Chains A and B, each alone.
Chain A
């Protein structure tokens, strides 16, 4: 069953999960374990501390406040949602015990696991879920997607929450599961303590395997093992299943230079160095103390076209732009090593459900003559095509350099403006300021919730027919029919209407200590279930 919970017709039981947490949590059950690999018995070390060199400082630790990766990553360890995604990117329950979905997909009854406690010792109840979900709906983009169709959240008893929708949707559990805008459940008291900048750090409390300990800005964020953690009983898979915390303490250290993150793992100062330049792959591979980690899939870079003002209001101009692009050349320039990119037209990664080859023929055409012909059908007279890009993400700049050259061959008069990322986040909201801006799409769990399909997202893809098809997609419970709708959508709308242009898939390089075992290389980095081994 590919899509797991979100397809549920009547009762979808996740019966294997615990009915209550056993005594003692994870703290009492842990002791050094022996494993046998390659004939040699090795010891999993119950290490005091795991040090992770991260790319920067979190602006907040409140996961409802931002989709910034650093906040979310730290949050995975502290907070848990009702659902999460497993190693195959299917939605699976986490704090939910089971879920009943009405036949018309407008009513969800979610029963909670009993005996799950927050880090402050209080038991998780439906009141906490209600308060958290209401705030998540208000504060996050994915929550807002649910908010548009959410009639009400109702607490039936201490362990049951019901969601009533105004229209059918099969992506509710997917939205609640997505780790990068996680619907993390806080105790009600934390939600009540939230100010305009989010929940104060002393109220960052969840049910996860680690609890918040200390944050010293620009120095570290420390988490401590939550001794009373109540794990699920299913086998671990991605963020799903049983979670075991092998470290007494997790320390996230902001290290701005990627060379230092790499060298830190090499010298043993850090156990994990995130997001290092792919040019360093060979160095990491040759290093006796480190191991390269290729996070695959990761994101995909794109050119977002302004469809409200300027030349790209005309679909022919957008199609002309698409026709002239050589994606292989762009990706090669941006990422160099073929290990870190892939030429693929699908908005969903190959590794995900809902992968589609719809519109494949229109992707990576590199047909300059066709582009010229299409452009001739528009009233374009050589006005500057303003493209905002940034060197903060070097691949965006490199793609802009190569692609703008290809555009010039097709007759576009491209004006590449190189600014910092902060500037792009502001400029992209002004329709008179640009024609194209560089962007990238983070891993998205379901095509029905891709943020840039929304007409209010920068670029302004306003089209009722397209919106109707998204509604249809999100209401369709049958997996095959849903795939058909998505295939058609991708072909007709993403590659036919060209609201934005995906360049290709790219993957991330990180570095880990060779002693760090059982590390999951998925796109949402986490440090439970992994351990240090002698």
Chain B
């Protein structure tokens, strides 16, 4: 097990380097530059050229890339051009929001998704199953931002139950934090719940047809007990995979939701960094997202061992 974990962690290095190089090249060859944006619409070409030189963006791509990688080896991701702070610090400051939102959304998504999936499977073909699947089709189809805007309209504008945006850190005001994150978490959670529900339903259905389930039923066990003890446990492996994938996606930044609800998270940070051509920040966030994917996938793989003892590494 220890060797497996070490191997997976070592895989982090090439996995993170490949997207970093690709993003670096993509950014370098795409038009637009931070100097023009920083100086504003009335800047002269001389002023833009001067700032580009000061920032080192007039250097050849190889020089810029070598400088970036050499700094990376020293653990320095550089400094954000627009935020005037180290990239690591910028990511750190925005990570709390994204983590809180992700956890909140995952709680909603998992509880609704798993419940619906199981209920739907054990009631296959019945009205309850159909209702649950209609919900999940809607959930998967509705764009998150559209749902978010409608939630804002109903709960914030018409009824003023929740604020329309902003963020209060959990450790400053737990109630305020939950209040500000409720609508964004629901917007994200509903769509992810629908996705999880569909996956859980098909896993449970597959297991319900398995011979060991038939045997358990034949032994005269209660249906509920069979579902809870035998079916659910075996259906957890694909479910954990889906939940893990969803978690990685959300941790990488729920861009649309963070923009709509004005949440200062990783998604919004990335979006703004792209719009402002804040190269060091884009690089840093891409590295962070790549690392988050790998670490979460590793954790998911390790959880498998506890759910299903037949799995060994």
Q: A residues bordering B, Cβ < 8 Å?
A: 56-57, 59-60, 65-68, 71, 139, 141-142, 144, 180-181, 196-197, 200-201, 216-219, 253-257, 259-260, 263-264, 266-267, 269, 419-423, 425-427, 429, 439-440, 442, 451, 454, 456-458
* Complex Cα–Cα for A218 and B266 (A): 11
> Are B46 and A456 closer than 8 Å at their CB atoms?
yes
* Complex Cα–Cα for A181 and B41 (A): 11
> Are B45 and A458 closer than 8 Å at their CB atoms?
yes
* Complex Cα–Cα for A193 and B153 (A): 47
Partner of B42, one of A60, A141, A266, A269: A141
> Are B45 and A456 closer than 8 Å at their CB atoms?
yes
The verdict on B205 contacting chain A, using a C-beta distance below 8 Å, is no
Q: B residues bordering A, Cβ < 8 Å?
A: 30-33, 36-48, 51, 54-55, 81-85, 90, 93-94, 149, 152-153, 156-157, 160, 163-167, 259-262, 264, 268-269, 272, 275-277
Chain A contacts of B41 at CB under 8 A?
A: 67-68, 425, 439-440, 442
A467 nearest CB across to chain B (Å)? 15
> Are B45 and A256 closer than 8 Å at their CB atoms?
no
Partner of A65, one of B39, B262, B272: B39
20 additional A-B residue pairs with CB within 8 Å, beyond A66-B40, A68-B38: A67-B41, A67-B43, A71-B40, A141-B44, A142-B42, A144-B47, A253-B262, A254-B262, A259-B152, A260-B152, A260-B262, A263-B153, A263-B164, A422-B36, A423-B30, A425-B32, A426-B36, A440-B41, A451-B44, A454-B44
* Complex Cα–Cα for A264 and B162 (A): 11
List 6 A–B pairs whose Cβ atoms lie within 8 Å, in order of A's numbering: A59-B82, A196-B55, A219-B167, A260-B262, A422-B31, A442-B41
Across the interface, name the chain A residue whose C-beta is closest to B54.
Answer: A196
Partner of A260, one of B90, B94, B164: B164
A62 nearest CB across to chain B (Å)? 10
A135 nearest CB across to chain B (Å)? 13
> Are B275 and A422 closer than 8 Å at their CB atoms?
yes
Give the residue among B30, B165, B268, B277 with the most A Cβ atoms within 10 A.
B165
> Are A425 and B272 closer than 8 Å at their CB atoms?
no
> Are B166 and A253 closer than 8 Å at their CB atoms?
yes
Chain A contacts of B33 at CB under 8 A?
A: 422, 425-426
Chain A contacts of B153 at CB under 8 A?
A: 263
Chain A contacts of B268 at CB under 8 A?
A: 218, 256
> Are A420 and B32 closer than 8 Å at their CB atoms?
yes
Chain B contacts of A255 at CB under 8 A?
A: 165, 262
Partner of B44, one of A68, A256, A439, A456: A456
Give the residue among B44, B48, B51, B164 with the most A Cβ atoms within 10 A.
B164
> Are B44 and A422 closer than 8 Å at their CB atoms?
no
Chain A contacts of B32 at CB under 8 A?
A: 420, 422-423, 425-426
Chain B contacts of A423 at CB under 8 A?
A: 30-32
* Complex Cα–Cα for A426 and B272 (A): 18
Give the residue among A59, A196, A454 with the most B Cβ atoms within 10 A.
A59
A423 nearest CB across to chain B (Å)? 4
> Are A427 and B31 closer than 8 Å at their CB atoms?
yes
Across the interface, name the chain B residue whose C-beta is closest to A425.
Answer: B36
> Are A257 and B40 closer than 8 Å at their CB atoms?
no
A516 nearest CB across to chain B (Å)? 18
Chain A contacts of B55 at CB under 8 A?
A: 196
> Are A264 and B165 closer than 8 Å at their CB atoms?
yes
Top 9 A-B pairs ranked by shortest CB distance? Answer: A422-B32, A67-B40, A425-B36, A218-B264, A423-B31, A68-B40, A66-B40, A67-B42, A423-B32
Give the residue among A65, A218, A266 with the most B Cβ atoms within 10 A.
A218
B40 nearest CB across to chain A (Å)? 3
> Are B262 and A66 closer than 8 Å at their CB atoms?
no
* Complex Cα–Cα for A197 and B84 (A): 8
> Are B38 and A60 closer than 8 Å at their CB atoms?
yes
> Are B156 and A263 closer than 8 Å at their CB atoms?
yes
Chain A contacts of B90 at CB under 8 A?
A: 217
> Are A141 and B38 closer than 8 Å at their CB atoms?
no
* Complex Cα–Cα for A436 and B39 (A): 22
Chain A contacts of B30 at CB under 8 A?
A: 423
> Are A217 and B39 closer than 8 Å at their CB atoms?
no
